[in-house]
Amino acid sequence: MCGIVGYIGKKPAAPIILEGLSKLEYRGYDSAGMAVFDGEKIQIKKSVGRLKVLEELTHDGATMPGVIGIGHTRWATHGAPSDVNSHPHYNEKETIAVVHNGIIENYLPLKEKMISKGYKFTSDTDTEVLAHLIDYYYKGNPLEAITKVMHRVQGSYALGIMFAEHPDQIFAVRKDSPLIVGQNEDGCFIASDVPAILKYTRKVYFIQNQEVVRLRADHMHFYTVDEEEITKEPVNIEWDADAAEKGGYEHFMLKEMYEQPKTVTDTLMPRIKDGDIVIEELGMSDDEIKAIRKVHIVACGSAYHVGVTAKYVIEGIARIPVEVDVASEFRYRNPILEEGAMVIVISQSGETADTLAALRESQQLGYKVLGIVNVVGSSIAREADNVMYTWAGPEIAVATTKAYSAQLVAIYLLAMKFAKVKGTISDSDFTAMLKDLKRLPDQIEMLLSNKERIQRFANRYIGAKDVFFIGRGIDYAISMEGSLKLKEISYIHSEAYAAGELKHGTISLIEKDTLVAAVATQDNLFQKTLSNMVEVKARGAFVLAVTNAGNTDIEKAADYVIYIPRTNPYFANSLAIIPLQLFGYYVAVGKGCDVDKPRNLAKSVTVE
């Protein structure tokens, strides 16, 4: 996601835009830019790098005089971070400037069409096509041009638009990506989010989908995509500035947990077309997929836990052997990669030193590497032979949640693609799995709405000393992530154990009231895990169980049960992890820990 700010009024626009963008850097920070009308023409300044680079480039806006402007801080999706890919984008005559947050899903066919009409593109972005389309439909009426483009564009967009021929107005447009407008005695404002304009006004209008706003220095008009004028009611913002940056949530981690339905949707939907899975960025033909003899997955931390789940899913449905390694082990193990092996590295930041080293090691051994990465243009994204992005947007909290969930659905898509091409899954099963995949965002949403119950349970364990997470198969992978979420932010010792392995030693640690979280989503292993729960309970443990709705037998062995909606067992990780994320979060909050910035940790471990 990116940050947008626009202003039109009596004051110099550039400083207001820069100040607003600085409040939105959490939304994206790999490049920034501004367009300001200087009385004669639109002046555009933009640069790769943090907002500070733009501030220095424009002397805090002093070199961009004018009272009407739009600005943008970017989180790259299409087109790596660079000066030319930074926003604003503009038409050839530089009389129309656009800033955009979202993804134009049909930008390629639109770009080809515009090129065939003689338009010249300078960037690799999806956004640039909007500037040329608006130019194409502009015959003197900005609103008409904008609405025509809206009828032709698919995807998500929040837009700020300005026209050199109409220096008395700017436009805000919204579909799916958030956008607000506001007004005070000095002018009118556009922003992606409240923090950018809270300093100027607490009375804002939340633009709804397919609405257009024309902002003038002293008033605003609202329209539908059919150019019908509408009236809207303002909302008074009660939040303080800090809370506003977190969208009203207490911590970025909670905000990002609640963004999971969207990040799962954003990662899934562009790759599901006409009942099939299309992963263009995979860079492999069907024959190359059929030739895969083994998959090596290498990652660290939570990304490694995704790899463990991926092993079960890929082996389960595509019947390809999978080996999963933590990158710090892989890189020094003198790894043996077989003929027909494929290497996948998973990384949110794309900068994790061990994972990057594992990628380079694999390439030195002559193997192509697929990166599943969240940060566009990051080192791993640049060096991997192919990149499958998780569209999770910037993840600020050190403890990953929304990127982890996006990585999970990325591997589900991969596994199903492999299975379909290799013919190891029937069409009916494939269709059923696709249906289950599409339901995940709503099911995650439903689980998140259950937070109060989890919070009450978590409050009982603020003083816990040791917590164990157990499971079998995919439930073991879920346990790994549940355990890490708890310990990394609450500082309570926790371990994940293959449930069948406990009796080989660790069960000696179980004593009265030791909390054991048992994950039992895999019906074929349910009875086995139930037995393990009975074993620990017999030794005094308090057993928290996470299982599928309907598995009420579990209440014989569990002291507290969290039921999750049923889905395909291969996808259960995406649902079972939600209550475990919330559990770890609320224990940490209850302990008064710094949830977003836990001690000793960094968001990206760029050193060994």
* Minimum distance of ligand AGP from residue 298's CB (angstroms): 10
**Of 207, 198, 209, 208, which Cα lies nearest the Cα of 236?**
198
CB closer to ligand AGP, 413 vs 484: 484
Q: Is 370 in the site for ligand AGP (CB under 6 A)?
A: no
Structure tokens at 529: 């895990």
- 300 as an active site residue: the answer is no
Q: Identify which of residues 142 and 301 has a Cβ nearer to ligand AGP in the complex.
A: 301
CB of 374 to ligand AGP, least distance (A): 8
In terms of CB distance, is 345 or 515 closer to ligand AGP? Answer: 345
Task: Confirm or reject binding of residue 604 to ligand AGP (CB under 6 A).
Answer: yes
Question: Which one of the spans 153-161, 346-354, 449-457, 539-547 is the region binding ligand AGP (CB under 6 A)?
Answer: 346-354
Output 347 or 443, the one with its CB closest to ligand AGP.
Answer: 347
Nearer to ligand AGP, 42 or 478 (CB): 478
Q: Catalytic annotation on 2?
A: yes
Nearest residue (CB) to ligand AGP, 370 versus 558 = 370
Q: Which of 113, 422, 438, 603 is catalytic?
A: 603
CB of 169 closer than 8 Å to CB of 8? yes
**289 and 469 in contact (C-beta within 8 Å)?**
no
Q: Which residue is nearest to ligand AGP (CB)?
A: 301
- Of 98 and 303, CB closest to ligand AGP: 303
Q: Dihedral, CA atoms, 51, 55, 56, 59, nearest 10 degrees?
A: 170
Least distance to ligand AGP, CB of residue 249, Å: 18
Determine which helix (DSSP H) or strand (DSSP E) holds 307, and give its type and residue range. Answer: helix 301-318
Pick from 97, 87, 152, 178: which is nearest to 125 by CA?
87
Name the residue type at position 33.
G
- Residues β-bridged to residue 135: none
Smaller CB separation from ligand AGP, 145 or 467: 467
244 strand-pairing partners = none
Stretch that binds ligand AGP, among 21-29, 246-254, 285-293, 343-351 (CB under 6 A): 343-351
Nearest by Cα to 373 from 360, 384, 388? 388
Strand bridging mode 466-471 / 542-548? unpaired
CA–CA separation, 302 and 314 (whole Å): 18
Task: Find the part of the chain contacting ligand AGP (CB under 6 A) among 43-51, 280-288, 348-356, 532-540.
Answer: 348-356
257 contributes a contact to ligand AGP by CB under 6 A: no
SS3 readout for 342-395: EEEEEECCCCCHHHHHHHHHHHHCCCCEEEEECCCCCHHHHHCCEEEECCCCCC
Minimum CB separation from ligand AGP for residue 216, in Å?
Answer: 45
Residue in 352, 379, 514, 581 binding ligand AGP, rule: CB under 6 A: 352
Q: Scan residues 514-543 and list those touching ligand AGP (CB under 6 A).
A: none
Nearer to ligand AGP, 399 or 448 (CB): 399
- CB-CB contact of 337 with 358 (8 Å): no
Length of the chain, please?
608
Q: Of 300 and 314, which has the nearer Cβ to ligand AGP? A: 300
Q: Among 147, 169, 348, 514, which residue sits at the site for ligand AGP (rule: CB under 6 A)?
A: 348
Query: Measured on CA atoms in the order 108, 114, 117, 119, is the torsion positive or negative?
Result: negative
Q: 377: closest CA among 44, 63, 45, 84?
A: 84
Q: Would you list the DSSP string of 78-145?
A: SS-S-TTTSSPEE-TTS-EEEEEEEEETTHHHHHHHHHHTT----SS-STHHHHHHHHHH-SS-HHHH
CB of 303 to ligand AGP, least distance (A): 4
Reference 598, options 515, 518, 485, 442; nearest CA is 485
Q: Does 605 bind ligand AGP (CB under 6 A)?
A: yes
The least CB distance from residue 574 to ligand AGP, in Å, is: 16
In contact, 395 and 374? CB cutoff 8 Å:
yes
Give the count of residues interacting with ligand AGP (CB under 6 A): 15
The reply on whether position 328 binds ligand AGP by CB under 6 A is no
* Active-site option among 2, 188, 300, 593: 2
**3-state DSSP of 420-455:** HHHCCCCHHHHHHHHHHHHHHHHHHHHHHCCHHHHH
Which residues 166-205 are close enough to bind ligand AGP by CB under 6 A?
none
> Residue 87 in contact with residue 2, Cβ under 8 Å?
yes
Does 359 contact ligand AGP by CB under 6 A? Answer: no
From 264-272, 396-404, 410-418, 578-586, span contacting ligand AGP (CB under 6 A): 396-404
CA distance linking residue 264 with residue 1, whole number of Å: 14
Nearest to 415 by CA among 261, 571, 302: 571
Shortest Å distance, C-beta 325 to ligand AGP: 13
Site string for ligand AGP, 279-308 (x = CB under 6 A): ---------------------xxxx-----
101, 125, 265, 347: which one binds ligand AGP (CB under 6 A): 347
Nearer residue to ligand AGP within complex by CB, 95 or 604: 604
- Binding-residue pattern over the window 476 to 515 for ligand AGP, x denoting contact by CB under 6 A: ------------x---------------------------
- 263 makes contact with ligand AGP (CB under 6 A): no
Is the C-alpha dihedral spanning 548, 553, 555, 557 positive or negative? negative
Among 411, 414, 409, 417, which Cα is nearest to 438's? Answer: 409
355 is a contact residue toward ligand AGP (CB under 6 A): yes
- Is 349 an interacting residue with respect to ligand AGP (CB under 6 A)? yes
Q: Which stretch binds ligand AGP (CB under 6 A): 43-51, 102-110, 349-357, 470-478?
A: 349-357
Closest contact distance (angstroms) between CB of 310 and ligand AGP is 14
Residue from 177, 400, 494, 573 touching ligand AGP (CB under 6 A): that is 400
Torsion of CA 350, 353, 356, 357, to 10 degrees: 180
Q: How far is the C-alpha of 28 from the C-alpha of 33, rounded, in Å?
A: 12
Shortest separation between residue 386's beta carbon and ligand AGP, angstroms:
17
* Binding region for ligand AGP (CB under 6 A) out of 128-136, 275-283, 344-352, 426-434: 344-352
Known catalytic residues are 2, 603
**Where along the sequence are the contacts to ligand AGP (CB under 6 A)?**
300-303, 347-349, 352, 355, 398-400, 488, 604-605
